[in-house]
Structure 1
Amino acid sequence: MTEHGLTGRPAGRRRDRRDRGMRGPEVLPPSAPGGLRAPDRPTRRERFDSLVLGVVSAIEERWHDRLGLVEFAVEDTPLVPDDWEQTGVPLSSLIRGSGSTPTRLVLFRRPIEHRCDSREELDAMVLTVVVEQVAELLGMDATDVDPRYRADD
């Protein structure tokens, strides 16, 4: 074995087989002149957060007087106890508040994304989950909460 490990190269070295380093606009610093740096692509988490924000904003605008103090949040996965007996993984959680404690509606990103094969399905799933939870909170029919909601036939 060599002094640099199995490969014979120092750790952290980023060279190709012709001993060239990384090249292209992605390696330029963010303050590169002339705007040569390629824009960063949003991550899955950022796209999901943006989608949820759009749905929640529309619902809050319509129902702000009846919703009261509600916190909307996104978590990657639910924390399920070891003795979990239900058959499925929850897509969201509604925790009713009391007094000065706000109600919390938490969407679980990974289980929702796992059930969707396309961006359109993801859009529809997020809308469905949020609308059904808000309908439960307000004691209303889900079709009254948002006109875009379509119940599964």
Structure 2
Amino acid sequence: MQSQPHVPGFTIRLADAEGGQEQEGAPKATRGFRRRRRNRHGRGLRGELMLPNLPGFRSRSERFDDMVLDSAERLQDMWGKQLDGVLFAVDEIPPNLEQLVAEGTAAPMGSCTPGGRGEAPMVTVYRRVVEQTATGREELQDLVHDVVVEYTAEMLGVPPETLDPVYRRRYQ
């Protein structure tokens, strides 16, 4: 899903945890198999392996990104201009995960970074931690929305229940 074109000034950019900017001199990431133009023998691909209308066409990470985007758009519909300029990022695992495991503490499902010095505030959701916590697809979607609501509320300084009235009511 893309950001809503009918709401002026509202955009959602899914960025990596470092802000989505490449550093100079850093090697570019390799492209996935689906994005390559030719196979290793140089004869090119014969066609799509999976048609776009089939469920397996999109990867798990792409479907997870869509869940975060849907939650962010829902919050923007309710709160409007207060969420303009907020970046919603999806990262695989939290930083210093090895240290957290060694200490025996639970890994966070997300984080929020306040904006400052020309940087936009950012809410980051850690995909692997959230996926490991959820048991099914419906629970995953609810959990993603709750994580987005929790860290957006923390960033705005309001209780999560006031940010979204159905926060955590689906579990009861």
If the length of structure 1 is used for normalisation, what is the TM-score? 0.69
- Tell me whether 1:88 sits opposite 2:88 in the alignment: no
Q: AA paired with 1:143?
A: E
Query: Number of residues paired by the alignment?
Result: 122
- Tell me whether 1:127 sits opposite 2:145 in the alignment: yes
Please say which of residues 135-144 and 113-122 is displaced more in the overlay. Answer: 135-144
- Tell me whether 1:39 sits opposite 2:57 in the alignment: no
**Contact 2:67/2:145 (CA < 8 Å) preserved in 1?**
no
Among candidates 64, 71, 76, match of residue 60 of structure 1: 76
How far off is 1:83 after superposition? 4.3
**Cα distance in 2, alignment partners of residues 79 and 68 from structure 1:** 26
Runs of 4+ in 1 over 3 A off after TM superposition: 81-86
Match of 2:19 in 1: none
Match of 1:76 in 2: 92
**Cα distance in 2, alignment partners of residues 110 and 28 from structure 1:** 33
How far off is 1:67 after superposition? 2.6
Mark the CA change 1:82 to 1:50 in structure 2 (over 3 Å): closer, same or farther: closer
Bigger relative contact order (CA 8 A; separation at least 6): 2
If the length of structure 2 is used for normalisation, what is the TM-score? 0.62
**Cα distance in 1, alignment partners of residues 113 and 161 from structure 2:** 22
- Tell me whether 1:138 sits opposite 2:156 in the alignment: yes
Highest CA radius of gyration, 1 or 2? 1
Q: AA paired with 1:122?
A: L
Mark the CA change 1:38 to 1:89 in structure 2 (over 3 Å): closer, same or farther: closer
* 1:88-141 Cα deviation digits (max 9, x unpaired): 111101111113111111100000000111011101110110111111112212
RMSD (Å) for aligned C-alpha atoms: 2.3
Q: AA paired with 2:129?
A: P
**Cα distance in 2, alignment partners of residues 126 and 120 from structure 1:** 10
The unaligned stretches of length 5 or more in structure 1 are 1-11, 13-26, 31-36
Among candidates 92, 110, 124, match of residue 106 of structure 1: 124
Specify the SS of the correspondent of 1:93. Answer: strand
Q: AA paired with 1:77?
A: I
